[in-house]
Amino acid sequence: MIEIRFMEPEWCPMVICDACGCPIDRRNRLGDGNALWPADTSMPEGKIGDPMAGHRRVYHAHKGRCDLKIQERVGEHLLWEGLSEHLAFLFHNAGFGQEDLERSEEYWRTFS
């Protein structure tokens, strides 16, 4: 899930593990994460092209023990991709591109 959490000196969006509740951050000891969703991606009859018909819950989890916990909790086969690929795909699907990244680069440097 995505939450806003306080990180000195301000509130920041963070990807939170749906299994353990800790931030997914490759810079900390828990490491990198995955995005997971149910493998049944079939569309209801006659609903292809309807943007409201085909949607699945996406879970975010640390790689390893946490993503196994999500699979056990959901109780069905899940597809997955690395969190960095998932976020890049999300960024693209929201209509953002290289120009937006470059414009944001100075702002992002304040967090390095």
Q: What is the pLDDT along the chain (112 residues), one digit of tens a residue?
A: 899 999 888 898 999 999 999 999 887 776 789 999 988 766 666 566 666 666 788 999 999 999 999 999 999 889 999 999 999 899 888 998 888 878 877 776 766 6
- 44 found inside a domain: no
User: With a threshold of 0.85, does the pTM exceed it?
Assistant: no
Q: What is the reported pLDDT for 40?
A: 75
- 27 found inside a domain: yes
- 13 found inside a domain: yes
Burial of 76 (0-12, 13-18, 19+ CB in 10 A): exposed
User: In degrees to the nearest 10, what's the CA dihedral of 71, 73, 77, 79?
Assistant: -50
- 109 found inside a domain: no
- 80 found inside a domain: yes
Domain limits at 88? 2-39+55-96
In the chain, how many domains are there?
A: 1
